Structure 1
């Protein structure tokens, strides 16, 4: 089956977009315009603000306690053993408690945010697959340097598209996806 360009009518220079990308003669600008839609990336889960604050406060208390302990070594020599032990342990006690609380907050918040981020992943993946089907249905005329969709290439009942300037091809790919419930749309 020869697919003809809607602008010049010649079928000899028309190739599917994925095949056109394999052509080494394409310059970088055209290659970027014909690039497939980007695959959805997993959502990055940020660290919770409360855990950042708790870790920072714990670090501040630990640092100030160590500085205080190093500056007051002379006062530790004249005190009893319990006082010296309490003074040394006290430097690490509050920062340790704050760090433990920060870890608990971090683990709980990360689990909740990861779960929430993964809820939309199947829908984004399905949308990307539909975008890929539309992208793979596109054709390029190397004579006119326009893209187009032949009749029935996107959906069985879809009419042929007009000639699409290459600058508009990515938006046609993204907009060419109908709702999932459109009859005749290949599911999967």
Structure 2
């Protein structure tokens, strides 16, 4: 199948996007390849457990806490003549930094888990359907090598779907998502909800 570019009206330099990416005789520039590449694969599921930052901060807090206990056990200074605030500071001081580090580690872990829970599950049926719709629209895309624009010929996405205007390559990924929403309306909206 050949398609006519909506900008130059010539079919001789028009090629399917997938074919343009695979063509080794006329390779595309790296920025253009990145913009025309297929929709990304779903993210792999994140592993559970503590983050590296939380583990490191907790380990450092534990080490400093043990050193604080050892310093209090070894140091038997008589604090009777000192102010009560000084005595409290002297006894609690070695544990202040470990407590701060544990609080930071807890905050880091809570934020990480919140992000993990807020992200959609990569293997959910909605994500799979959305990915299939985007891939289907991406497959219908064409590139005019002369004009350096992408386009969708009439009825290439689905029967009766109108042809697109010339699309700057920078806007191609957004057009893929938008065309999926417009072409498959209810299916795409059900996926978004």
TM band (smaller chain): 0.5 to 0.7
- From the superposition, tell whether residues 9 and 46 of structure 1 become closer, same or farther in structure 2 (CA, over 3 Å): farther
Residues 121 and 127, structure 2, Cα contact 8 Å, conserved in 1: no
Q: Which residue of 2 aligns with 1:163?
A: 166
Q: Spell out, residue by residue over 1:108-128, the C-alpha distance to the aligned partner (whole angstroms, 9 max, x if none).
A: x97x98677565741233222
Q: 1:67 to 1:184 in 2, by over 3 A?
A: closer
Q: Aligned partners of 1:158, 1:42: CA distance in 2, in Å?
A: 34
1:19 is matched with which residue? 19
Q: How many residues align?
A: 150
Q: How far apart are 1:2 and its partner, in Å?
A: 2.6
- The answer as to 2:144 corresponding to 1:144 is no
TM-score scaled to structure 1, two decimals?
A: 0.60
TM superposition shift of 1:64: 2.3
Q: Unpaired runs of 5+ in structure 2?
A: 76-108, 189-193
Q: Please give the alpha-carbon distance, in whole angstroms, between the structure 2 residues aligned to 1:180 and 1:146.
A: 21
TM-score (norm 2): 0.59
- Greater Rg over alpha carbons, structure: 1
Aligned with 2:131: secondary structure?
Answer: helix
Matched, 1:6 2:6: yes
- 2:143 and 2:161 map into 1 onto residues whose CA distance is 18
Within 1, Cα distance between the matches of 2:183 and 2:162? 19
Deviation readout 1:131-183 (Å, 9 max, x if unpaired)? 12111110001122111001112222211111111122121112222179637
* Aligned residue in 1 for 2:31: 29
Structure 1, unmatched stretches of 5+, are: 73-105
CA RMSD of aligned residues (A): 3.9
- Cα deviation digits, residues 45-104 of structure 1 (max 9, x gap): 6848xx8687665444323234555x46xxxxxxxxxxxxxxxxxxxxxxxxxxxxxxxx
2:102 corresponds in structure 1 to: none
CA distance in 2, matches of 1:118, 1:30: 29
User: Contact 2:161/2:183 (CA < 8 Å) preserved in 1?
Assistant: no
Match of 1:131 in 2: 134
What does residue 85 of structure 1 align with?
none
Q: Which residue matches 2:181?
A: 178
